[in-house]
Chain A
């Protein structure tokens, strides 16, 4: 009879949680449609290309370099749009500081002479950026520009029969077209990936993992914190209810809800946003199940250490923020220091993103240990939360 009562207690918690969620239709709708709408807007709104940087070229009045913008634009340096060619460097830098342009390029006065004398000529690229990402992008474009200029120097040299350009390794290349001499190789990319997803297709599984973790964390954390502040936990304490039954009931309830939301989200992503799904649904379901379990453990832990709803919300948001930065959602995990990487692997979503992207986009898992890691995180977090809750529900 004791087992039957336990079963009924767990089922009562499951029923109560699911009923409560469905009594708020707005919340249900936002839970199901929210992630899909965000991804759809992202897919439709994201251009996938960076803004071209407005560039001024400063030409020394004494140099024989072209003075019209079109000549520089035709060099083929990507990402830069030449808005002006001027002779006054100070004036150009003033316009850079005023934000009228993004880059000032100062080509060498006589590059050929420098090369022939065995010295590299400097191509000055001036920027005024505090954003490290933008600065890095500008630096990348400067390198591209430098390569384009180098190619042009070779092309012009080859065209004019200059020895530095038409003789490599003792071979006479005078019959080779100048463009080939200037740019002797070109990259031809062969992608072995089974699919080449769009940006939404690539980020879809990652966004799904992130949304599922956040959903599970907030739903379960707020549920327990609200019960504590309303006095319902006091009722549990004075009743025969045990922490195991509370945890089991809540995990089953929110696990079922999360699974239903995940199933609908995957269907919407695949059907309407064209996200590939190369693995068997059962494999994806296994990963989602483990991700939900670990995320519910994280949410439970947040709920047992929070003494107010506000604190639980703050901690849930911190978990979301950490997940955004460290899970590989935006930046690759390998780019972090080893200690930070270790922290990143504690987050359920880190494994969720990797596994879901692997399964949906390649059809297989590159690192099967991540399945075990997810299961391990789930076990540890649920066990810790259960211990804390058991202490809270035990008679004083």
Chain B
């Protein structure tokens, strides 16, 4: 008998288990936030508390309301209703000092294509009031950080797509912000580069920087301390990646292979087992409270029903599966409720 981690499950466990404890202070608080455009809810009833010092991913498909959420946090958009507090201030009342504490990386390339990488970063540094030696030091530091120092004299318009994203990141970091807001920093760039950008975000977190990051790559949820899943403008789930996984599947999953044919249904009522699903004559999956504790109990239970476990392993479903499961569940509960609401309104 083996008790192993599924090879299918990527070895990247949530980084939240590997990072220093998040400060208790709240960096961003959103309460009952709505944003309507032409009668359509871009964001609906969003409640979110983002602790200081965390990397928080806002994840969802294209058009789900991620950028609208980001723009409300930066103060570019006013919510239709609800309250937003960023580092204790309403975005509509941000003063200069407050803005100097925030770094923003927009979704699109907004640097000046005719200026070099160095000139672009230098310009942004000036916007944030960096003068003299600090500016020279910081522009060098951030360009080295994103590995663009060697191409600093190349015009931004001549940089590759990935380099342009890194340049945007460098510009967002140049003034050493406490709160970093990154709108799809990894969109359209290769996996290696994505990894390096996430590594940088983690490094910043280790230095106490709070990051709010949107991404449409669901798998990047693993890179965050906390994940807000958004679909159709609604917050579907919010928690650590492990919490969301548990929330999606109802617990942790064990994949069991027996030496002979075995009916998984017989284990349905066993202690610690929350659900069972047959996947083959000798194979089945069990949803359990705690995979580590339940493994031995499952082996015993199988034996109790005349079977013998050949292999048992914890399965960590990919975040794509988790996301799909949560969205489906949300739809299943929301759509009938909305239909009923619409029906009663029509009747009235």
Docked complex: B52-109 residues within 8 A CB-CB of A: 71-72, 74-78, 91-94, 96-97, 99-100, 102, 104, 106-109
Kindly provide the distance from the CB of A247 to the nearest chain B CB, expressed in whole angstroms.
Answer: 15
Kindly provide the distance from the CB of A9 to the nearest chain B CB, expressed in whole angstroms.
Answer: 6
With A235-B124, A240-B100, A395-B92 as contacts: A4 and B131 at CB distance below 8 Å: yes
**Size band of the B side of the interface?**
35 or more
A20 within 8 A of B: yes
With A8-B129, A236-B127, A240-B96 as contacts: A230 and B108 at CB distance below 8 Å: yes
A239 within 8 A of B: yes
A177 within 8 A of B: no
Whether A8 and B126, one on each chain, are in contact in the complex, defined by CB atoms closer than 8 angstroms, is: yes
A23 within 8 A of B: yes
B24 within 8 A of A: no
B110 within 8 A of A: yes
Contacts of A19 on B, CB cut-off 8 Å?
A: 114-115, 119
Whether A230 and B131, one on each chain, are in contact in the complex, defined by CB atoms closer than 8 angstroms, is: no
Whether B131 and A232, one on each chain, are in contact in the complex, defined by CB atoms closer than 8 angstroms, is: no
Whether B131 and A16, one on each chain, are in contact in the complex, defined by CB atoms closer than 8 angstroms, is: no
Contacts of B128 on A, CB cut-off 8 Å?
A: 239-240
Kindly provide the distance from the CB of B108 to the nearest chain A CB, expressed in whole angstroms.
Answer: 5
Cα-based distance from A2 to B127 in the complex (angstroms):
12
A173 within 8 A of B: no
Docked complex: A1-42 residues within 8 A CB-CB of B: 2, 4-5, 8-9, 11-12, 15-16, 19-20, 23-24
Whether A230 and B76, one on each chain, are in contact in the complex, defined by CB atoms closer than 8 angstroms, is: no
Whether B155 and A23, one on each chain, are in contact in the complex, defined by CB atoms closer than 8 angstroms, is: yes
Contacts of A12 on B, CB cut-off 8 Å?
A: 122-123, 126-127
Looking at A16, A230, A232, A240, which has the most chain B CB atoms within 10 Å of its CB? Answer: A240
Q: Which residue of B lies closest to A241 (CB)?
A: B127
Contacts of B74 on A, CB cut-off 8 Å?
A: 234, 237-238
Whether A237 and B75, one on each chain, are in contact in the complex, defined by CB atoms closer than 8 angstroms, is: yes
Contacts of B136 on A, CB cut-off 8 Å?
A: none
Contacts of A24 on B, CB cut-off 8 Å?
A: 114
Q: Which residue of A lies closest to B114 (CB)?
A: A23
A188 within 8 A of B: no
Cα-based distance from A20 to B119 in the complex (angstroms):
10
Contacts of B119 on A, CB cut-off 8 Å?
A: 16, 19
Whether A238 and B76, one on each chain, are in contact in the complex, defined by CB atoms closer than 8 angstroms, is: yes
With A23-B115, A231-B106, A232-B112 as contacts: A396 and B129 at CB distance below 8 Å: no
With A20-B115, A23-B155 as contacts: A5 and B131 at CB distance below 8 Å: yes
Kindly provide the distance from the CB of B209 to the nearest chain A CB, expressed in whole angstroms.
Answer: 16
Looking at A230, A237, A396, which has the most chain B CB atoms within 10 Å of its CB? Answer: A396
Contacts of A241 on B, CB cut-off 8 Å?
A: 127
Contacts of A242 on B, CB cut-off 8 Å?
A: 96
Whether B110 and A234, one on each chain, are in contact in the complex, defined by CB atoms closer than 8 angstroms, is: yes
Kindly provide the distance from the CB of B123 to the nearest chain A CB, expressed in whole angstroms.
Answer: 5
With A238-B74, A239-B99, A395-B91 as contacts: A231 and B131 at CB distance below 8 Å: no
Residue interface mask A303-347, B partner, CB < 8 A = 1: 000000000000000000000000000000000000000000000
Q: Which residue of B lies closest to A12 (CB)?
A: B126
With A230-B110, A235-B106 as contacts: A396 and B92 at CB distance below 8 Å: yes
Cα-based distance from A241 to B128 in the complex (angstroms):
7
With A236-B127, A396-B92 as contacts: A16 and B115 at CB distance below 8 Å: yes
Cβ 8 A contact of B131, one of A8, A235, A240, A395: A8
Whether A234 and B129, one on each chain, are in contact in the complex, defined by CB atoms closer than 8 angstroms, is: no
Kindly provide the distance from the CB of B75 to the nearest chain A CB, expressed in whole angstroms.
Answer: 3
Cα-based distance from A23 to B114 in the complex (angstroms):
6
Kindly provide the distance from the CB of B167 to the nearest chain A CB, expressed in whole angstroms.
Answer: 13
Cα-based distance from A231 to B76 in the complex (angstroms):
11
Whether A16 and B78, one on each chain, are in contact in the complex, defined by CB atoms closer than 8 angstroms, is: no
Contacts of A11 on B, CB cut-off 8 Å?
A: 126
Kindly provide the distance from the CB of A17 to the nearest chain B CB, expressed in whole angstroms.
Answer: 10
Cα-based distance from A237 to B124 in the complex (angstroms):
12
Contacts of A23 on B, CB cut-off 8 Å?
A: 114-115, 155
Q: Knowing that A16-B119, A231-B107 are A-B contacts, what are 19 other residue pairs whose CB atoms are under 8 Å apart, sorted by A's residue number?
A: A8-B126, A8-B129, A9-B126, A19-B115, A23-B114, A23-B115, A24-B114, A230-B110, A232-B112, A235-B110, A236-B127, A238-B76, A240-B96, A240-B127, A240-B129, A395-B76, A395-B94, A396-B75, A396-B91
Please list the residues of chain A having a beta carbon within 8 angstroms of any beta carbon in chain B. 2, 4-5, 8-9, 11-12, 15-16, 19-20, 23-24, 230-232, 234-242, 395-396
**CB pairs A–B below 8 angstroms (9 shown):** A12-B127, A230-B110, A231-B110, A237-B76, A238-B74, A239-B128, A242-B96, A396-B72, A396-B78
